[in-house]
Chains A and B, each alone.
Chain A
Amino acid sequence: MIYGAGSARVLKRDLTLRILSIVLVALLVAGPLLPRWAMFLITVSLCYGMVVLGMMLLMRTGVVSFGHGLYYCLGAYAAGTLDVLFGVSDIAVMLLAAVAVTGVGSALLGLLLRKYRDIFFAMLSLAFSMILYGLLVKTSALGSSDGFNVAAKTLFGIRIAGTEFERYLIFAVTVLVAFVAAVCMHKYLASHMGRLAGAIRDNELRVEYMGASVRNTIHVNYVMSAVLAGLGGAMAAVSVGHIDPEMSYWTTSGEFVFVAILAGTGSVLAPFLGAFIFETIRSFAYEYSPNTWQMALGTTMLLVIMFLPGGLWSLFTRMRKAA
């Protein structure tokens, strides 16, 4: 967040938390009134937004992962296999499992990846996600390339499957998880370590001269982004009800990068807004013009890169600056 240097007024107030709270309350209250498709669209966008939130953190640090589908998929499978292996299908436990698996997995891979930058970071993470893809496609117990269905039956031990509140409760849980993730990320970005991200992107060597560890920061940010992707994946598994290895294919990861670029990295609100726009366009494009949808995506991406390097979010910051 850049505060207008040189302007006569004192620091502009940070409205992010207020906006987040308003959106939270609005969504929770309006939820039961929404038609099913709108509720589903918002749920899926929020899941997607969480993954993109993690991508945003990595991009602020100056690294781009072309393999974040790895954690999206890992989170979803961690949630899904709980039922297959242990007969557990409680949403809370599923989310915890996703956090644990992606947290441990990224902490281990991070030991390696934190040494890499630029294209090599992107390609090595791509390789790992494709390894998971290859493994899952060959695992017939988990449905190979077809994947399998996931059904969350309880929430904190209370049965929700088949009740009339099922859809709303899943929606509400997603809204709450996304809210908490966004608030935590906002606080983190303003913290000491969070602010290091931009410095690392600008010049690693200087950051090290000043006594901060570049690798540790990148590692921490990597784990955080992975856990967010895992949470997003697990919630997507619960709300969509089906998972397959495609979640770990490189084109899925490419979409995450795309939405992050489209949204911009200026605020924690941007990824959710970007994801919502993306999912909305996608659901309409699938309906009306399935064969030109990628073309529209590609063109949009080129336009954003050329004319709006800060992403859609930079439109808002420009407006605020002008005001």
Chain B
Amino acid sequence: MAKTHVTMKVNGASVEALVEPRTLLIHFLREQLNLTGPHIGCDTSHCGACTVDLDGKSVKSCTVFAVQADGGEVMTIEGIAAADGTQCGFCTPGMITRAYRLLKENPKPSEDEIRHGIAGNLCRCTGYQNIVKAIEFAAAKLSGATAREAAE
């Protein structure tokens, strides 16, 4: 199949590559760029294991073509550092990438807002309770840091 030239920023670095028009962003990231942090769990955009940040929005990269990200900015778990609350670790990268964007959109979410905010990301191990706590903790830490910076 004829290939298309794409350029984009991934975790701050410029990349360019040839991809088939049908290549999914998740396969492009994992197989061409070797960014194996985001995972594939369901193929139908239900589980969120493949969640990445595209131009300031959370997307499920199993349902985005690489060509749709042409000229865009992508961030994966490899571009973020974060907290705990994991068991098998398979949902974790997508979950953290989603939480990162959620906290940008809403720096002080209520528990209910967190639960709705991560409803596109499935976890089979933890029952979510400690993930929700970790996001609450991150929110408190981030807003604390912001408050301190403002005071300085």
The judgment on whether A and B are partners is no
The residues of A with any CB-CB pair to B shorter than 8 Å are none
The residues of B with any CB-CB pair to A shorter than 8 Å are none
